[in-house]
């Protein structure tokens, strides 16, 4: 079966609620990007969506459930990508947008401010963003206290924690930062993502090597089934596939593919959204080529429509994560994308999403 990559970002239309939320999203987009993000977070933190007549899922989720080893059964495959809620301020608000699992962070051991502003830029005609946030983090202790108060139940919406290192931690001591993160959050996180792929912390991507990740894996042998690694899309195919094979051998639970693409123009930072889709999709195919479904994969990067979700699942992902879609399509993005996913499945004759998984490689 050949599933072509869509060449244009999607458009959508729904009813009154959609029109008003779209209007709100458009208003937010008139603000500088990070200010808009902060306003959105402010609203989500106060759980303001609970006052809106959001669509109910009901039977619309039939056939869309997916199982992610080590994370659990999901009602549907669309989760939150890391970076939106770096400090665990609004998990309830995000769950209300219909997301089926949440990845919070990146969290660093000690608090740090991140890079100077401006550090977040929109690429409107690409439904994309460039960011060089540089891990602005409240620090592990502070976030852990927030999670303690939250008493999250992973039953309905599993929550993972994405871990990074502080900017001023020497690369030779980076392993301590990740270890500390695992220890601090072990009772709160359903799963961990080891972030060795953000482009905005000097030396971080250099940690995406077998030696470092093996040492980390060996230190946390008992927790390997909770550990995922998020890789960048900028590696050469041979190096990427070599690392994927090594990570499978070490026993990591799975991979998140991918983080942002490093760019210098029109801004320095990491590129998200539509322009990332081809590279992120290629990485998924490369990973499948060497693991043949043996290593669970979560797709991230340019997933903006239900058709995109379908294509990533068909290429072997167990689930997907979104960031830019929430920025450009607003708080109803998940509901709209699930409608589109269902249409795509109907069109291609699939009743169960679990049957879609890996189907791209069947011919």
In angstroms, give the least distance from the CB of 200 to ligand FMN.
8
Decide whether 301 or 331 has the Cβ nearer to ligand FMN.
Answer: 301
In contact, 139 and 112? CB cutoff 8 Å:
yes
Decide whether 66 or 196 has the Cβ nearer to ligand FMN.
Answer: 196
Decide whether 291 or 324 has the Cβ nearer to ligand FMN.
Answer: 324
In angstroms, give the least distance from the CB of 31 to ligand FMN.
15
In angstroms, give the least distance from the CB of 208 to ligand FMN.
12
**Where do contacts with ligand FMN occur on this chain (CB under 6 A)?**
81-83, 86, 105-106, 120, 129, 131, 133, 162, 195, 198, 230, 259-260, 272-273, 276, 300-303, 322-325
In angstroms, give the least distance from the CB of 275 to ligand FMN.
9
| Catalytic hit among 100, 137, 197, 198 | 198
Decide whether 129 or 174 has the Cβ nearer to ligand FMN.
Answer: 129
Decide whether 247 or 350 has the Cβ nearer to ligand FMN.
Answer: 247
In angstroms, give the least distance from the CB of 105 to ligand FMN.
6
In contact, 270 and 130? CB cutoff 8 Å:
yes
Which sign, positive or negative, has the C-alpha torsion 169, 174, 175, 179? positive
Decide whether 180 or 300 has the Cβ nearer to ligand FMN.
Answer: 300
Decide whether 272 or 281 has the Cβ nearer to ligand FMN.
Answer: 272
In angstroms, give the least distance from the CB of 102 to ligand FMN.
12
Determine whether 198 is an active site residue: yes
SS (H, E, C) the chain: CCCCCCCCCCCCCCCHHHHHHHHHHHHHCCCCHHHHHHHHHHHHHCCHHHHCCCCCCHHHHCCCCEEECCCEEECCCEEECCCCCCCCCCHHHHHHCCCCCEEEEEECCCCECCCCCCCEEEEHHHCEEEECCCCCECCHHHHHHHHHHHCCCCCCCCEEEEECCCCCCCHHHHHHHHHHHHHHHCCCCCEEEEECCCCCCCCHHHHCCHHHHHHHHHHCHHHHHHEEEEECCCCCHHHHHHHHHHHHHHCCCEEEECCCEEECCCCCEEEEEHHHHHHHHHHHHHHHHHHCCCCCEEEECCCCCHHHHHHHHHCCCCEEEECHHHHHHHHHHHHHHHHHHHHHHHHCCCCCHHHHCCHHHCC
Q: Which residue is nearest to ligand FMN (CB)?
A: 83
In angstroms, give the least distance from the CB of 140 to ligand FMN.
14
Distance CA 25, CA 110 (A): 33
Could you list the active site residues?
198
């Amino acid at each position: 079966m050949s599933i072509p990559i869509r060449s244009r970002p999607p458009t959508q239309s729904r009813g009154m609620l959609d029109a008003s939320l779209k209007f709100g999203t458009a208003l937010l987009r008139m603000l500088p990007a990070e200010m808009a993000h902060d306003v959105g977070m402010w609203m989500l933190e106060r759980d303001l969506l609970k006052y809106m007549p959001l669509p109910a899922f009901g039977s619309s989720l039939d056939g869309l459930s997916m199982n992610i080893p080590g994370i659990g059964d999901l009602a549907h495959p669309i989760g939150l990508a890391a970076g939106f809620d770096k400090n665990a301020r609004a998990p309830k608000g995000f769950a209300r947008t219909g997301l089926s699992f949440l990845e919070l962070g990146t969290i660093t051991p000690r608090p740090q401010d991140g890079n100077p502003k401006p550090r977040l830029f929109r690429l409107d005609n690409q439904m994309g963003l460039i960011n060089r946030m540089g891990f602005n983090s409240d620090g592990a202790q502070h976030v852990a206290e927030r999670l303690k108060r939250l008493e999250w139940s992973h039953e309905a919406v599993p929550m993972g924690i994405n871990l990074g290192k502080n900017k001023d931690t020497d690369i030779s001591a980076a392993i301590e930062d990740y270890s500390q993160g695992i220890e601090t959050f072990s009772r709160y996180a359903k799963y961990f993502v080891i972030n060795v792929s953000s482009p905005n912390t000097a030396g971080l991507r250099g940690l995406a090597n077998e030696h470092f990740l093996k040492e980390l894996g060996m230190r946390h042998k008992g927790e390997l089934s909770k550990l995922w690694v998020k890789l960048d899309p900028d590696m050469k195919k041979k190096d990427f596939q070599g690392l994927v094979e090594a990570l499978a051998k070490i026993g990591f639970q799975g991979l998140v593919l991918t983080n942002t693409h490093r760019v210098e123009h029109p801004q320095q930072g990491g590129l998200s959204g539509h322009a990332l889709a081809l590279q992120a999709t290629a990485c998924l195919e490369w990973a499948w080529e060497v693991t043949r479904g043996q290593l669970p994969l979560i797709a991230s990067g340019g997933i903006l429509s239900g058709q995109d979700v379908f294509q990533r699942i068909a290429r072997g992902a167990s689930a997907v994560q979104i960031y830019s879609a929430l920025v450009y399509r607003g708080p109803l993005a998940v509901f709209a994308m699930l409608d589109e996913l269902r249409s795509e499945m109907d069109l291609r004759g699939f009743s169960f999403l679990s049957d879609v998984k890996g189907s791209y490689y069947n011919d």
